[in-house]
Structure 1
Amino acid sequence: MSIDNERINLQKKILSPRILVVDDEPDIIELLELTLARMGMEVSSAMCIHDAKALLQSHSFQLCLTDMRLPDGNGLELVKYISQHFIDVPTAVITAYGTTENAVAALKAGAFDYLPKPVSLKQLRDLVKSALSLPPVKIESAGQGEISQQRTLLGESESMRQLRATIDKLSRSQAAVYISGESGSGKELAAKMIHERSARHKQPFVAVNCGAIPENLMESEFFGYKKGAFTGAEKDHDGFFLTADGGTLFLDEVADLPLTMQVKLLRVIQEKQVRRIGDTQEKSIDVRIISATHKKLNHCVAMGQFRQDLYYRLNVIELNMPALREMREDIPLIAEAILEKHCQEASRPICRIEKDAMIMLKNYDFPGNVRELENVLERTLALCPDVNIGIEELQLPDQTVEATPNDTAEVTQTPATTIQVKTDHNLPLQDYLDKLEKDSIIKALNESRYNRTKAAKGLGITVRSLRYRMERLGLND
């Protein structure tokens, strides 16, 4: 009987996750060991970085909890060491020096999360459970043929490889992520990839376009409401935060949030609590925030259009999405994948792009990025019954083409019936369009001697629409 018990205990020990605790205070080590042991964990402890590194090299761990300040160095040094040499081991920083700066530094160094002292045992248990539910790290192969069924960003360029590697790192953290990049560059796809590879992958992913919600409905949509809270509230509504509880909330076009809403959003993020309209009780929430916008958010802060304190809460780690024109060598791979998808959906033979047409695609700037490329190919498939796609079928807008050294074939432009678009390559597409709109309004106002009724009539819009556009473009100052 005793032999059987020994076997059972040995099996439990083998199956139990092993956790490394690094702290120079014996009382903290004892508290953590007792708590983790009650959770069924095997615990090893070290009081300095040197001993922790020795244990990491001799044992296999599923999680490391480390203090920020240790006798022989900074806890961030250990975080970086583990991130480089033991990428499968998530690290959490526990420190009495729990300032925002230290927390941000730890997350940027590669920490999964952080906990301030005195340690809340509930927060500790939640953190451990979350860290242990992380999917295993998958090393990217040289080609794209072995990609798993998870969604991914296609491309073999160096910038795309680095982007995918960064996404994998961010997925193993709880830090807030701000995704910057031009319209159509794949910001929402990147956010979904971070979520699907994270410890929250089994929980909801809620995407919100902040620019599409009327200002008077924002509070009820974000925070929810109780039945009878106002006219039309016929039943309880959770709102985005409560719906995303335990998962990820993606705030797209976050720069479009009005300042009044920014204040309320900041409080919810700081307190991790939300109160529905008409409710007397606040509810605790556990939500990871990923935000994105095509605008330069730091410029919005400088112009007073976005709160600086909220900016720092959202922009713990920034992920920049490269424009399609910055990775032209990836256009053939992306174009072929788009064609294959749409051809399969239409139950037609897989089309192929002829060499000269592919060269033309590679040399086109795509101000709308991958979204524009997909639009061009979808339109081409609708109008082209043939399997082969040539230059005439693409119908790209005219632009000055700079051939790359490898593209020796002569590229013919589209017929004269297409619209010539002159873009300012120093501006994202939306900023360029805003500039055109602003210049048109200023010209109309000058010609009408600032008579808004005449200016609106000249522009072919209503006075109300003119007022809205002037306010949005900052022309009322």
Structure 2
Amino acid sequence: MTASKAAVLVVDDEADIRELVEIALGRMNLTTAAAATLAEARQRLSEQPFDLCITDMRLPDGSGVELVAQINRQYPQTPVAMITAYGNAEAAVESLKAGAFDFVSKPVDIAVLRKLVDSALQLRAPAMPPQVAAQNLLGEHETVRQLRALIERLARSQAPVHIAGESGTGKELVARLIHHQGPRDRNPFVPVNCGAIPAELMESEFFGHLKGSFTGAHRDKAGLFQAAENGTLFLDEVADLPPHMQVKLLRALQERAVRPVGAETETPVNVRVISATHKDLGQLVAQGQFRQDLYYRLNVIEVHTPPLRAHPSDIPALAQHVLRHLARDLGLQRLPALDDAAIDALVAYPFPGNVRELENILERAATLSDGERITVADLQLRDAQPSAAPAPAAGLEDQIEEIEKRAIREALEKTRYNKTRAAELLGMSFRALRYRIKKLGIDEA
């Protein structure tokens, strides 16, 4: 379908706004249909398909949020943009949570509207098929499948996303997949570690500066927001932002504009923000360390990346994937193979550092191995090392092992020593159970 054939439904009870939007869309070679009420909009939707719907928040016979929910339910391929009152951040967030693609504030800025429409219509022909983009998120466990499906849905929205998860669980990978499966794919993905920028340079790094605005500013410099124009800005470890930058970031998100250091006016920006942290942002808000209003602005939709120990059945496939990359990067002639005992050990290992730790372990093991196979000894897993912990810690480990032994024995007894069924009861793979039974010295009766 070409852009000239794209159809847009405009829903607003104010005739002048309907006319303004329709004129702007007509100049973009789009066809339009108009509705003044929720009932009229539903009638139009039943009569023909639309490539985009633009609706006011408040309608005489209901709320635009109702229309967003209905379109998401009945016409999921049609993105919806919301027109909200100027400065009504709550309404904007409510519409995004309901599933709106994006929003535009009154009075409607035609330049902003055109960018929104362009982005929405690009959803009809994604630059990268979801199945191709998502192949980098490996795993067949249900938690990983659900995460892939969520990424695909979020890619069709412009709502701010916050990714929560432990270190090493692939938060940046998830952010990149959301970007690459969406309409901003052809534009920049700009990652930034908020904890790595000195506090005194943050404002300049984020928003840019003008020449002569401070000592050392020898030329104009664009900030990260400008670098991500029409694309995605990924704020990693956003919990590390100092209070003064939290205030400035909130304003940039609300106004969709930034003011470079030394400038007198703000510069509009069209950027999707995805944030992430391994910390509990909600807890930091409760402790007064993170602004509540910024939290709600960033956390419109929350995504959780599962720790590796939550899907141990995926570890063998992940390990093979990592080894293939290592063999290429290290210039190995042959791909070293994990022996059965090494695979069992990896599946049973808790991986406090998650996928990043798996990568480090395998890189070390590939270096230490004979080049043909990797053994348990090559892995050098932490729980396989001689313990240097003081007596109280060793005692705690003994207690934990006893609890684990008891749980495994009870599962075996309940299933009459059917290990497959016992593994299901314990929520682990058969291979992991077999390894734990051997390691803990459990009598298999």
TM-score, normalisation: structure 1: 0.76
What whole-Å deviation, never above 9, does each CA across 1:122-152 have from its counterpart, x for those lacking one? 3222211121123646886xxxxxx415663
Q: Of Structure 1 and Structure 2, which has the larger fraction of its residues in helix? A: 2
Structure 1 stretch displaced more, 107-116 or 178-187: 107-116
Asked if the contact 1:134/1:197 (under 8 Å) is kept, the reply is no
The match for 1:225 is 209
Structure 2: which amino acid aligns with 1:245? E
* SS, match of residue 434 in structure 2: coil
* SS, match of residue 306 in structure 1: coil
The match for 2:287 is 303
| Mapped pair 1:261 → 2:242 | no
The match for 2:314 is 330
| Mapped pair 1:198 → 2:193 | no
Query: What aligned pairs does 1:272-291 form with structure 2 within 5 A after superposition?
Result: 272-291=256-275
Asked if the contact 2:133/2:181 (under 8 Å) is kept, the reply is no
Report the Cα distance in structure 2 between the residues aligned to 1:129 and 1:340, rounded to whole angstroms: 40
The match for 2:56 is 67
Structure 2: which amino acid aligns with 1:380? A
Report the Cα distance in structure 2 between the residues aligned to 1:111 and 1:17, rounded to whole angstroms: 19
Report the Cα distance in structure 1 between the residues aligned to 2:279 and 2:347, rounded to whole angstroms: 26
Question: 1:231/1:70 Cα in 2 relative to 1: closer, same or farther (>3 Å)?
Answer: closer
Structure 2: which amino acid aligns with 1:168? E
Structure 1: which amino acid aligns with 2:255? E
Structure 1 stretch displaced more, 315-324 or 338-347: 338-347
Equivalent in 157, 168, 171 of residue 184 of structure 1 = 168
What whole-Å deviation, never above 9, does each CA across 1:157-184 have from its counterpart, x for those lacking one? 1111111121222222222111111111
The match for 1:375 is 360
Asked if the contact 2:84/2:92 (under 8 Å) is kept, the reply is no
Equivalent in 64, 67, 75 of residue 86 of structure 1 = 75
Structure 1 stretch displaced more, 182-191 or 195-204: 195-204
The match for 1:163 is 147
Structure 2: which amino acid aligns with 1:85? Q
Q: Give me the identity figure in percent.
A: 50
Structure 2: which amino acid aligns with 1:37? G
Instruction: Please state how far the C-alpha of 1:347 moved relative to its aligned partner.
Output: 4.1
Question: 1:74/1:278 Cα in 2 relative to 1: closer, same or farther (>3 Å)?
Answer: closer
Report the Cα distance in structure 2 between the residues aligned to 1:234 and 1:202, rounded to whole angstroms: 32
Structure 1: which amino acid aligns with 2:434? A
Structure 1 stretch displaced more, 235-244 or 187-196: 235-244
Report the Cα distance in structure 1 between the residues aligned to 2:322 and 2:229, rounded to whole angstroms: 34
Structure 2: which amino acid aligns with 1:23? D
| Mapped pair 1:357 → 2:346 | no
Instruction: Please state how far the C-alpha of 1:319 moved relative to its aligned partner.
Output: 1.2
Question: 1:97/1:239 Cα in 2 relative to 1: closer, same or farther (>3 Å)?
Answer: closer
Instruction: Please state how far the C-alpha of 1:295 moved relative to its aligned partner.
Output: 0.6
Report the Cα distance in structure 2 between the residues aligned to 1:231 and 1:48, rounded to whole angstroms: 57
* SS, match of residue 33 in structure 2: strand
Report the Cα distance in structure 1 between the residues aligned to 2:251 and 2:366, rounded to whole angstroms: 49
Equivalent in 9, 15, 18 of residue 7 of structure 2 = 18
Report the Cα distance in structure 1 between the residues aligned to 2:259 and 2:133, rounded to whole angstroms: 38
> Which sections of structure 2, spanning at least 5 residues, go unmatched?
385-400, 409-422, 425-429, 441-445
Report the Cα distance in structure 2 between the residues aligned to 1:207 and 1:363, rounded to whole angstroms: 33
What whole-Å deviation, never above 9, does each CA across 1:79-117 have from its counterpart, x for those lacking one? 223223333221112245973222212111211011233
* SS, match of residue 93 in structure 2: helix
* SS, match of residue 191 in structure 2: strand
Asked if the contact 1:91/1:112 (under 8 Å) is kept, the reply is yes
Report the Cα distance in structure 1 between the residues aligned to 2:262 and 2:135, rounded to whole angstroms: 40
Structure 1 stretch displaced more, 157-166 or 90-99: 90-99
Tell me how large the CA RMSD over aligned residues is. 2.8
Structure 2: which amino acid aligns with 1:364? Y
Equivalent in 387, 400, 409 of residue 434 of structure 2 = 409
Instruction: Please state how far the C-alpha of 1:49 moved relative to its aligned partner.
Output: 4.3
Question: 1:355/1:86 Cα in 2 relative to 1: closer, same or farther (>3 Å)?
Answer: farther
Structure 1 stretch displaced more, 338-347 or 155-164: 338-347
What whole-Å deviation, never above 9, does each CA across 1:424-446 have from its counterpart, x for those lacking one? xxxxxxxxxxxxxxxxxxxxxxx
| Mapped pair 1:44 → 2:33 | yes
The match for 2:393 is none
TM-score, normalisation: structure 2: 0.81
Report the Cα distance in structure 2 between the residues aligned to 1:151 and 1:241, rounded to whole angstroms: 29
